[in-house]
Amino acid sequence: MKTRLSVNINKVALLRNSRLGNYPDLFQFAKDCEHFGAQGITIHPRPDQRHIRYSDVPILKALVTTELNIEGNPTPDFVNLVLDTLPAQCTLVPDAENVLTSDSGWDTIRNKSLLRDTVDRLHNAGIRVSLFVDPIPEMVNGAKETGADCVEFYTGDYAKLFSIDREKAVAPHIEAALIANDVELMINAGHDLNLKNLAYYKSAIPNLAEVSIGHAIVADALYYGIENVIQMYLHQLKT
């Protein structure tokens, strides 16, 4: 199965926000990522707007020609933003307001009512919905019960363990992926995937539909340039 590469451009927005104006040009960067081969653009507007701002979202919606994926905690303001924007995909993430980065998935059982109501609202607007989850069988089955279309596996722990024992690192993801396949949930993945660990993850996970990568791509671009880096990541996904 061909796995899509969605480039998360939050870190570019963070760099832009360190000065006044729009430099580096966030919107041109998104267009260039698509031109260089990315199959999607991911953004994660947080309540403090420390990187992607709410005002960026309609501009990006108008210029992205592949797939726009908006991530975030389903607060009323966020859900209204998504419904106003109508992206191809919305990934619901259980972020606290002061979290540095997304570091855990939903308890899809405890939050079933909230998630089901949110999924229904987004589905009624024609938006595909993914839930950010840890690779735990119960959480995958819980995601299915909310009516979501996809799960996005949190891969931070996989990345931490990869250099020590890659088979042990990926084992829970394989188990969770097999369950997702059985219940007909699409599989996405993201967090700390990079040029060292991506190809192995892709080769191990059956029917991996999409990876969302931002931090590593922007960091690698400092050395290799964004055009080269996107090609390097696409090459990893051809494994």
What positions carry a catalytic annotation? Answer: 44, 71, 191
State yes or no: cis peptide before 24, omega within 30 of 0: yes
Residue of 8, 3, 5 whose CA lies nearest to 214: 8
Sequence-ordered list of residues with C-beta below 8 angstroms from that of 23, at least 6 positions apart, any chain: 16
211: part of which helix (H) or strand (E)?
Answer: strand 208-213
Sequence-ordered list of residues with C-beta below 8 angstroms from that of 99, at least 6 positions apart, any chain: none
Residue of 106, 72, 105, 64 whose CA lies nearest to 88: 64
Quick one: the chain helix, strand, coil %, rounded to 5? 45, 15, 35
Whole-angstrom distance, CA of residue 135 vs CA of residue 131: 12
Distance of CA 138 to the CA centre of its chain: 21
Going 157 to 162 to 164 to 166, the CA torsion angle's sign is: positive
Which residue carries 């998360």 as its tokens? Answer: 8
